[in-house]
Amino acid sequence: MKSLFLAALASVASAHYVFPAVIHNGVTTPDWTNVRQWTTYYTYGPVTDVTSLDIRCNVGGTTTKIGTNTTTVNAGDTLGFTVEPTSSGLYHPGPLIVYMAKAPSGTDVATWDGSGSVWFKIFEAGPTSFNASGPVWPYQTGGVTGVDQVFFTLPKALPTADYLLRIEHIAVHNAATVNGAQFYLSCAQLNVQNGGSGKPTPTVSFPGAYTPTDPGILYNLYSPWPQTTYVVPGPSVWTG
């Protein structure tokens, strides 16, 4: 009985996922060197309260200074994050969203907390289609597995500056009750070079961007069956 219980606990823990590393120009950084290592990251667990500070850069991700390295990139580059554990990957149903926030000039992005209405969305991926099972999510590869790497492109018009980069996957399999949606997220620091002269808008704050009852956050994946709609939460995407 006891070992069964422990086995069940272990499978729950390993069932979730984290984004621990950045992929750029074919190079994957070590885990948690270029991504802020949040407190209790080893649980692979989600944030569920969108009104808490944890929704910004995960638990302790805005206050814990662990010397995270900043990744130098060019505007317009393709960037990626790894998903761990790789055996199950990004397996929950839900959208993938990427936000950025420019560090105020004179501020060291490595110690900046990302406060204020400074975050703009650069990428979102909701369902690619709907079939007789409901939404088809682009990062699920079938069965109970998902991809173990995700990629997106930085806008070419992004001004040269230091930024926080926030990746988020919202799992909606339990989202029919308030605070049931699961937010898997990490923040990395970027030094963006060769940028453009765009003005990223609209901007939002974290917490603040979401409410617990937003469509896409309070969402019943199973009713009506099959589901035929899904609204990705947050502001519109700034493409530059």
Ligand X SMILES: *[C@@H]1O[C@H](CO)[C@@H](O)[C@H](O)[C@H]1NC(C)=O
- How far apart are CB 46 and Cu ion at their closest, in Å? 7
Number of Cβ within a 10 Å radius of residue 52: 12
The residue within the footprint of Cu ion, chosen from 2, 4, 5, 16 (CB under 5 A), is: 16
- How far apart are CB 16 and Cu ion at their closest, in Å? 4
* Interface with ligand X, residue 153, by CB under 6 A: no
Residue with tokens 């519109």: 236
* Interface with ligand X, residue 133, by CB under 6 A: yes
Q: What does each C-alpha distance from 192 to 6, 58, 72, 79, 188 come to in angstroms? A: 45, 23, 6, 12, 12
- How far apart are CB 185 and ligand X at their closest, in Å? 19
* Interface with Cu ion, residue 173, by CB under 5 A: no
Mark the segment that binds ligand X (CB under 6 A) among 76-84, 127-135, 192-200, 204-212. 127-135
Residue with tokens 């060291």: 108
The residue within the footprint of ligand X, chosen from 15, 28, 31, 33 (CB under 6 A), is: 33
What are φ and ψ of residue 125, in 5° steps? Answer: -135, 100
The residue within the footprint of ligand X, chosen from 67, 106, 197, 223 (CB under 6 A), is: 67
CA distance 159 to 57: 22
Residues β-bridged to residue 168: 97, 185
**Nearest residue (CB) to Cu ion, 15 versus 125:** 15
Give the number of residues in contact with Cu ion, rule: CB under 5 A: 2
**Nearest residue (CB) to ligand X, 137 versus 238:** 137
Number of Cβ within a 10 Å radius of residue 157: 16
* Interface with ligand X, residue 115, by CB under 6 A: no
Q: How many CA atoms lie within 13 A of 83 on its CB side?
A: 25
The residue within the footprint of ligand X, chosen from 1, 4, 27, 132 (CB under 6 A), is: 132
